Amino acid sequence: DKPIAGIEFPDEENPFLGWRGIRMCLDRPDIFKRQLRALLRAAVHGNIKVMLPMVSEIAEVTRTRALVDECATELKAEGVPHASFDLGVMIETPAAVLIASALAKEVAFFSIGTNDLTQYIMAADRLNPTVAKLNDVTNPAVMSAIELTAKAGVAAGIMVGMCGEAAGRPDLIPAFIGMGLTELSMSPASIQRAKKTIAAMAPER
């Protein structure tokens, strides 16, 4: 979801609300299909999980799945070894939170992206120091969104994880685990503290 060489991105007043993530991928199937074909081929050699960023509609998942099926059909016709992979969604838009129950029926896992989700819920650019104080994952609105997403995933029987700075915070890890999260992605520097926090919870669980 970041501008890269080789793809011309339009000038936008607010790129965070613009052409990025799955939106760009679906608009450029010439690029997206190459990536999907490569992932299908790589899946022969190991456990592959693919997470779609910036999802805000069910149709974005179903259209992606259709492209995956199309690529698999092409590879089969070409005699190229390939295998399936799990498809998941990064929950980072308020829209994705509100349709989490429906999304959970379409994918194998959720990963809650707290950095972007917080700024979108609080309507505060996390790169703008003037409103930086609003980007607080502990705000009740953000925590409610995380819990709503977790409950939807747990009810559907899919894995619910989290990435972003909040995932490595010892003061929040117990709450996240209590909501049903089973995977936390964090910087290497945060791992030891997180392990100690989780180990300390063991007698309580």
> At residue 67, does pLDDT exceed 90?
yes
- Residue with the larger pLDDT of the pair 7 and 39: 39
Residues in the chain, total: 205
pLDDT at site 128: 87
> What pLDDT score was predicted for residue 126?
81
Is the pLDDT at 48 greater than 70? The verdict is yes
Angle, helices 58-78 vs 29-42, to 10°: value is: 60
Q: What is the tens place of the pLDDT at every residue in 108-156?
A: 999 999 999 999 999 988 888 899 899 999 999 999 999 999 999 999 9
**Contact between 154 and 181 (Cβ < 8 Å):** no
DSSP 11: P
Whole-angstrom distance, CA of residue 134 vs CA of residue 174? 23
For residue 16, pLDDT over 70 is answered with no
Beta bridge partners, 113, equal: 163
Short-list 166, 163, 147, CA closest to 155: 147
If residue 52 lies in a helix (H) or strand (E), which one and from where to where?
strand 49-52
What's the whole-number mean pLDDT along residues 82-90? Answer: 98
Q: Residue 71: name the closest of 80, 61, 59, 60 by CA.
A: 80
Q: Are 163 and 114 in contact (CB under 8 A)?
A: yes
Residue with tokens 């999802």: 55
Q: Count Cβ atoms within 10 A of the Cβ of residue 139 and give its class: 0-12 exposed, 13-18 middle, 19 or more buried.
A: middle
Looking at the chain, the whole-number percentage of residues with pLDDT higher than 90 is 82
Q: Domains in the chain, please, with CATH?
A: 15-204 (3.20.20.60)
Weakest mean pLDDT among 9-18, 45-54, 151-160, 176-185: 9-18
Q: How does the average pLDDT of the chain come out, rounded?
A: 92
Q: Give the integer Cα–Cα distance in Å for 93 and 109.
A: 16
pTM equals 0.88
Please give the average per-residue pLDDT across 66-89, as a whole number: 98
Read off the pLDDT of residues 167-190 as tens digits, 9 standing for 90 and up: 999 999 999 999 999 999 999 999
| Residue with token string 């080789």 | 6
Dist CA 81 CA 40 (whole Å) = 8
User: C-alpha 74: how far from its chain's center?
Assistant: 27
**C-alpha span between 78 and 128 (Å, rounded):** 50
